[in-house]
Amino acid sequence: MKKLLLLTLPLILIGCAGNQLGSQSRVAILDSSSREHLTTELTMADYTAFAEKVTNKMLRSRLVQSWGRKRPKLVVGKLANNTNNDSIRMQDIYDRITETILNSGLVRLMDQSATSFDYVVRTELSETRQFGAGGAELAYYKLEFKLFKLDGEMVGQWSDVLPLGKAVRKY
């Protein structure tokens, strides 16, 4: 009886360990509108949040209100990446912005190759970054919209800032 117990106990323990490993994948499906960060870099959720907040400011400006239902032709120019990170997916930010502006129905969105349009939006992403002891980090990202008429006159400017802070790890 004792021998039987001695034989079965390790098997049970191995079996339990296997179950635990198999059931803990450590991967969770997140809410698509939540804002988790592992590092002080931008995520897809941040791109969408930037597009939401900057277009909020643009759409409630006096200029855009004055358009009413005229639906002027607008070109969203290429985004300038003035951060130190060349791997930021600027096309994704561009897509979020055009999606938001297009869905508003306030403008006719034209391709960058169009020859007839009323306004151009130039967009720029920039960052400042500070590093502290023990891995502490502070990053500020700024997305800026600048709206120009055909003759080059700037008629609107709107921006939003996203600060990301990484605290010192305690253990």
Partner 1 sequence: MTSKIATVLLAAYLASQLTACSTTKGANVKYKEQQTIDDTHPRATLILGSTELVDNVLITNVRLGEVGALSRAGVDVQNLTDERYTLEYKFVWRDKQGFAVDSGNMWHRFVLSPRKIKSFQSVGKTQDAYSVQFTVRFPDDLFIETDKQDQKAKPFFD
Residue 23 engages partner 1 in binding (rule: CB under 8 A): no
Q: Quick one: which segment of 6-14, 24-32, 122-130, 145-153 binds partner 1 (CB under 8 A)?
A: 24-32
Interface residue with partner 1, options 28, 134, 151, 152 (CB under 8 A):
28
Instruction: Please report how close the Cβ of residue 132 comes to partner 1 at its closest, in angstroms.
Output: 19
Nearest to 146 by CA among 31, 81, 54: 54
Q: Quick one: which segment of 10-18, 60-68, 117-125, 138-146 binds partner 1 (CB under 8 A)?
A: 60-68
Interface residue with partner 1, options 40, 53, 90, 117 (CB under 8 A):
53
Q: Which of residues 62-91 bind partner 1 (CB under 8 A)?
A: 64-69
Torsion of CA 77, 82, 86, 91, to 10 degrees: -20
Contact status, residue 136 vs residue 152, Cβ threshold 8 Å:
no
Instruction: Please report how close the Cβ of residue 21 comes to partner 1 at its closest, in angstroms.
Output: 18
Instruction: Please report how close the Cβ of residue 11 comes to partner 1 at its closest, in angstroms.
Output: 28
Q: Which of residues 87-146 bind partner 1 (CB under 8 A)?
A: 96, 99-100, 103-106
d(CA 10, CA 56): 63
Q: Report CA torsion sign: 105, 111, 115, 120.
A: positive
Q: Quick one: which segment of 29-37, 84-92, 121-129, 149-157 binds partner 1 (CB under 8 A)?
A: 29-37
d(CA 171, CA 13): 30
The 3-state DSSP class for residue 52 equals: helix
Cα angle, residue 50 at apex, residues 101 and 113 outer, rounded to 5°: 45
Q: Which is nearer to partner 1, 31 or 111 (CB)?
A: 31
119 Cβ neighbours under 8 A, 6+ residues apart: 72, 73, 74, 75, 107, 147, 148, 149, 150, 155
Enumerate binding residues for partner 1 (CB under 8 A): 28, 30-31, 33-38, 45, 48-49, 51-53, 55-56, 59-60, 64-69, 96, 99-100, 103-106, 170-171
